Amino acid sequence: MNGMNGLRRYQWLMGILLVALFLTGCETGHDFVKKTEFKDADKIVVIFAGPVDNAWATDVSNFSVYEEPDPDIRLNIKEAALGPDKTTLTLNFEAPLNQGEAHILSTTNIVSEGQDLGAATLTVKKLYFGILMTIFLGAALIQNFVFTKYLGLCVFFGTSQKRSTAIGMGIVFTTVMVFAGMMAWALYQFVLKPYQLTYLNIVVFIGLVSLSVQGVDTILRKVNPALFKAFGVYLVLVIANCIAIAVPLMLADNEYNAWESLMLALGAGLGFMLALFLMACVRERLELAKIPPSFRGLPIAFVTAGLFALAFLGFSGLSIY
Amino acid sequence: MDPVLIKIALGGVATLACIGLFFGIGLAMAAHKFHVEPDPKVEEVLHTLAGAQ
């Protein structure tokens, strides 16, 4: 019995070790290379497990790099520099790298302390999490649907008079957007694209949005009547929102996968909520302000929205990863 | 006309009909499962009120 238990524990450990080995092994593609990553705009850093030969590492002709989709186009390396610990190799390129794509770095036989460790083909790519965050931030702030794409304006001006209304509308919209976005992704990838029906995109996506609104309406009415009473009015308005059709079309155009689609939908929803909330805060104060009669109501709201749009231009250079 | 195009068009009609049927039945089932009995008092009160808004 004891032996069995011991064996089980051992198996557990082996499993974890195997998974860890698999994960680390997958990352780069050569046993002697610990890590590869992008640095700045035009550098790739390779970290080796041990010291490598200086003469080998600083010879640019030992390395060749290309973007994964275009193996024909070799990127020009300006210089290769080895760090003082002899394990960190920095490759400087002549032009900035397109870091959204994975890069393939192939080397000649790695020379380490006189030993020949064989050639390596390494993959350099951004963390997938970083790409997801870029999509999310792009949809929420940098390319905010309301302030930079001018979509969903009717609902935006209709429901941004009070803060409570704005938050309610934002939450309902985000929920529906996530449902509709995921369904649109599945339908596009598994039905429309394989059967060459992409010319029906708009029809199908509009149907999907109304479907998810109806579904959320039906379920919420029964499951949480209090929430339905608070948010039910905004549900119908979601159908009238053009962001709800823009998101599925964008994720179909860009061929996003499930996670990227989710991030786009979530970013669009939260970005819309942020826009509504900011606008509602200002409009609550505008109620008390002295505004020339001809500007009262919607005109001053449009002016405010324009100022917000200018302010959101400040996000245009934002990138975290 | 090119038979391939006709095939794609007819296929589109058929697929869309199938999708519509599938989701329609799904919604109908959801509506059945999550059915809420409307309160007759609400209706009565609303009827009695002036109802200008």
ipTM for this prediction = 0.78
What distance in Å separates the CA atoms of residue A232 and residue B8, rounded to the nearest whole number? 40
Q: What are phi and psi of A24, to 5 degrees?
A: -70, -35
Q: Which amino acid is at B41?
A: K
My answer on whether A122 and A243 are in the same domain is: no
Q: Counting every residue, how long is chain A?
A: 321
My answer on whether A144 and A109 are in the same domain is: no
The distance in angstroms from the start CA to the end CA of chain B is: 56
Q: Find how far residue A273's CA is from the centre of its chain.
A: 18
Q: Say if A202 is an interface residue toward chain B (CB within 8 Å).
A: no
Residue numbers of the domain that contains A93: 29-126
In the structure encoding, which two tokens stand for residue A146, read together? 């309301």
Do residue A218 and residue B31 have CB atoms under 8 angstroms apart? yes
Tens of pLDDT, residues A160-177: 888 988 998 899 899 999
- Number of inter-chain CB pairs under 8 A, A vs B: 41
Question: In this predicted structure, what is the pLDDT of residue A174?
Answer: 94
CATH code assigned at A57? 2.60.40.1220
Q: Which positions in chain B touch A222 (Cβ < 8 Å)?
A: 34-36
Shortest distance, CA B27 to any CA of chain A (angstroms) = 7
Does B53 map to a domain? no
My answer on whether A148 and A64 are in the same domain is: no
Does A171 map to a domain? yes
User: Cβ–Cβ contacts within 10 Å for residue B45, how many?
Assistant: 10
My answer on whether A118 and A155 are in the same domain is: no
Angle among Cα A137, A254, A153 to the nearest 5 degrees reads 55
Does A7 map to a domain? no
Tens of pLDDT, residues A185-221: 999 999 999 888 888 899 999 999 999 999 888 888 8
Spans of chain A below 50 pLDDT: 1, 24-26
The conformation of residue A255, written as its DSSP 8-state character, comes to T
